[in-house]
A and B are shown apart, each in its own frame.
Chain A
């Protein structure tokens, strides 16, 4: 049973560039959430996708956008990268109204 997978594992970008991160949910899950974890902090909620729509959004600027595909996989896009966007980006999935989210290994983004 495949868990949540994310790609790439690591990424280095420069300020002003754009980045796309990818996530495949756990088998049987239809809901994907994205979190940003800065060094020494807990994960912070970015947004959640369900039925290909953004269902809930955290306190992140519009530079952060996403998409969910019909197969439930998801992308996180960040435009006009800032140094402060350097973090571990985590994807989590769950099934419908089920409360517990299961996390992938994350993508570590470094912005220079």
Chain B
């Protein structure tokens, strides 16, 4: 049973436009959510996180939105740059469990 789902395996966006990556979860006990970016032959790089007590967190070009009632989070990248081309994973954890549950990833391609 996949508790964290990224239903779009890939996304292409023009440079300078907004990229929106989506993630859905089923476990209502999840209270911390993260986004990681992964380039080939590298480990995942932490991008941004959000606690369940918030509905939005911003860091530069990256904003994460959390809709707890819909069990949905999204990552917005504005403006998108060619260097953002990578696989993006969302992850969730339940307080006190110490483990992340990852989605299957979305491959973002930013076209110059």
Contact = CB atoms under 8 A, between A and B. Distances in A.
Contacts of A104: 43
Contact of B43 (A4, A33, A100): A4
B25 interface: no
Nearest to B49: A100
Contacts of A73: none
Given A90-B44, A102-B46, A106-B43, A42 B98 contact: no
Interface stretch (A12-20, A43-51, A61-69, A76-84): A43-51
Given A42-B89, A42-B105, A101 B41 contact: no
Interface of A: 4, 6, 31, 33, 35, 40-45, 48, 50, 55-56, 58, 90, 99-106
17 contacts: A4-B43, A31-B98, A35-B100, A42-B103, A42-B104, A43-B100, A43-B102, A58-B99, A90-B43, A90-B44, A99-B49, A99-B93, A100-B34, A102-B46, A104-B43, A105-B42, A105-B43
Interface of B: 4, 32, 34, 36, 41-46, 49, 51, 89, 91, 93, 97-105
